[in-house]
Chain A
Amino acid sequence: MKLITAIVKPHRLDEIKEALQAFGVQGLTVTEASGYGRQRGHTEVYRGAEYTVDLVPKIRIEVLVEDDDAEQLIDVIVKAARTGKIGDGKVWSVPVETAVRVRTGERGPDAL
């Protein structure tokens, strides 16, 4: 199993959700996040005083998938998240040792 994590622009969430559903993903977790990449946020001006806001609002999406689906799913997310502008975010995957469905106690791929 793999855990796919995507940090993306908040307004892309609906597109990504739709793409994941079309792909057949059963569930996902979404968290509000903030951070910066190479662009390092933006500058705001209040009565002439400039403030650098380097932590920009982001959405963190997490999905557990079987190994064979991982690469394809990453492509699906990347495609749905992309605007072509700076700050589009990142997607990565990590191996997952085990997963348990709390209600039934099923383990491994059955728990997905």
Chain B
Amino acid sequence: MPPGILTLAAEEAPTLSAANTGFMLICSALVMLMTPGLAFFYGGMVRVKSTLNMLMMSFISLGIVTILWVLYGFSIAFGTDIGSVVGWSSDYVGFGGIGRDQLWDGYTIPVFVFAAFQLMFAIITPALISGALADRVKFSAWALFIALWVTVVYFPVAHWVWGSGGWLFEMGVIDFAGGTAVHINAGAAALGVILVIGKRVGFKKDPMRPHSLPLVMLGAGLLWFGWFGFNAGSWLGNDDGVGAVMFLNTQVATAAAMLAWLAYEKIRHGACTTLGAASGAVAGLVAITPAGGSCSPLGAIAIGAVAGLVCAMAVGLKYKFGYDDSLDVVGVHLVGGVIGSLLVGFFATGGVQSDAKGLFYGGGFDQLVKQAIGVFSVLAYSLIVSAVLAFVLHKTIGMRVSEDDEISGIDQGEHAETAYDFSGAGGGAASRKTVPAPTETAAAAQKTKKVDA
């Protein structure tokens, strides 16, 4: 997000830019595509029997968060500041008081477009959490969790980081496109929830191999593609080239991270894996998200490479510490987000997105300290509040499916569907059972007719 989103008063009244508006509508659509992309990224990594649930946990976010955003989410995140913690503007409730061509001071895109763009961020952030909860969470409890979580965690944190008057924003923490508000936030929440709900049945004992790496690659590709909207769109226009720097840095860091992850794997395990390539790319995308508006392309290579390497090492921690972060949300998003956000303090060149300079560019420790405050305050808040929310849901309606359902497959248990039909044998029996009634009646009717005749 650009600094001063609501505060910088333009000397002249801003005019609506058709180019920027068009650009931002495309970016919003790109970010929307990331959520189904994420669904496939995660969906391929789980076992056959829980594919649909994994897809649905992301997809449901598109429904729930969209409605809440219109009702009150946008108001909390970007309304008039209250105590640097949340926002609120009654005009934004239900979007009722916003004109279709209404602009904010200093910006050339309608408020509606900004709201749509930001909505896509709000949708994907809780969807990111779901990867840690694979195979074992009741769909109804998950839906309720999303609604509560965005209300008490995401909307306020978005205000802290990006909203005018938000305390991290005012302090000068740089989070260009969401390393703190999106990735650290989601990663910390994932950790908080899994500490409450526990491991999958058979964790560390049963093999839990990804069932479709092609789906993972498809999802990673869609994420990478959509991320250009996520990152380059975060300047809210393209008048001055900052969005272009961000676009390039996104590509560069992602490439570096993928190569770093693969190099680590080749040395450590002897093979460059497909899952490693996809994971490395995502780690790079995560890490460059907060940093890409303030670093140079060479800095982006360094940030990507560090993220690829450290995240590749971090995904093993769950086995060491025994927490079941099923699809490595902590290892990739939390760790990647922390790396990217902190490295801003080293690699910010000044003069691109903001004038703040990092340690390597003569800025001293000032920006690094600010970044660390941003990182650890969001991390702690999200971790604690998410754990409390999960605990309350777990003790009331229950967060987990029955062990039987988990073992036989959450798709069948929670959604009454399965992702693939591998065999015709036995598959038709149930459906046939429901059909005979009319057929029998028809046959009986026919019989009666004959007798009558």
Q: Which of A11-19, A43-51, A90-98 sits within the interface?
A: A43-51
Given A45-B271, A46-B275, the answer on whether A51 and B207 have CB atoms closer than 8 Å is yes
Instruction: Report yes or no: B273 in contact with A45, Cβ–Cβ below 8 A.
Output: yes
CA distance A96 to B361 in the complex (A): 85
Residues of B within 8 A of A48 (CB): 265, 268-269, 312, 315-316
CA distance A46 to B265 in the complex (A): 10
CA distance A44 to B276 in the complex (A): 13
Residue B328 CB within 8 A of the other chain: yes
Rounded to whole Å, the gap between the CB of B260 and the closest CB of chain A is 14
Choice from B207, B271, B315 contacting A47 with Cβ under 8 Å: B315
Instruction: Report yes or no: A44 in contact with B209, Cβ–Cβ below 8 A.
Output: yes
Residues of A within 8 A of B269 (CB): 45, 48, 50
Contact with B along A28-40 (1 / 0, CB 8 A): 0000000000000
Instruction: Report yes or no: A46 in contact with B271, Cβ–Cβ below 8 A.
Output: no
Residues of A within 8 A of B271 (CB): 45
Residues of A within 8 A of B312 (CB): 47-48
Q: Which residue of B lies closest to A46 (CB)?
A: B275
CA distance A3 to B319 in the complex (A): 49
Residue B371 CB within 8 A of the other chain: no
Instruction: Report yes or no: B328 in contact with A47, Cβ–Cβ below 8 A.
Output: yes
Query: For window 175-216 of chain B, which residues contact chain A by CB distance below 8 Å?
Result: 207, 209-210
CA distance A49 to B265 in the complex (A): 11
Instruction: Report yes or no: B210 in contact with A49, Cβ–Cβ below 8 A.
Output: no
**Majority SS of interface residues in chain A?**
strand
Q: Which residue of B lies closest to A45 (CB)?
A: B269
Residue B279 CB within 8 A of the other chain: yes
Rounded to whole Å, the gap between the CB of A111 and the closest CB of chain B is 26
Choice from B210, B268, B319, B331 contacting A46 with Cβ under 8 Å: B210
Most chain B Cβ neighbours within 10 Å, of A44, A48, A52: A48
Residues of B within 8 A of A49 (CB): 316, 319
Q: Which residue of A lies closest to B264 (CB)?
A: A48
Query: For window 44-65 of chain A, which residues contact chain B by CB distance below 8 Å?
Result: 44-53
Rounded to whole Å, the gap between the CB of B207 and the closest CB of chain A is 5
Contact with A along B318-362 (1 / 0, CB 8 A): 010000000010010000000000000000000000000000000
Residues of A within 8 A of B210 (CB): 46
Query: For window 262-317 of chain B, which residues contact chain A by CB distance below 8 Å?
Result: 265, 268-269, 271, 273, 275-276, 279, 312, 315-316
CA distance A46 to B276 in the complex (A): 8
CA distance A49 to B331 in the complex (A): 13
Rounded to whole Å, the gap between the CB of A43 and the closest CB of chain B is 9
Instruction: Report yes or no: A47 in contact with B209, Cβ–Cβ below 8 A.
Output: no
CA distance A51 to B211 in the complex (A): 13
Kindly list the 9 A-B residue pairs having the minimum CB-CB distance in the complex, ordered from nearest: A45-B269, A47-B315, A51-B207, A48-B316, A46-B275, A51-B209, A47-B275, A46-B210, A47-B279
**Which residues of A does B touch, CB under 8 Å?**
44-53
Given A47-B279, A53-B207, 13 extra CB contacts under 8 A: A44-B209, A45-B269, A46-B209, A46-B273, A46-B275, A47-B273, A47-B312, A47-B316, A47-B331, A48-B265, A48-B316, A52-B207, A53-B209
29 A–B pairs (Cβ distance < 8 Å), ordered by A: A44-B209, A45-B265, A45-B269, A45-B271, A45-B273, A46-B209, A46-B210, A46-B273, A46-B275, A47-B273, A47-B275, A47-B276, A47-B279, A47-B312, A47-B315, A47-B316, A47-B328, A48-B268, A48-B312, A48-B315, A48-B316, A49-B316, A49-B319, A50-B269, A51-B207, A51-B209, A52-B207, A53-B207, A53-B209
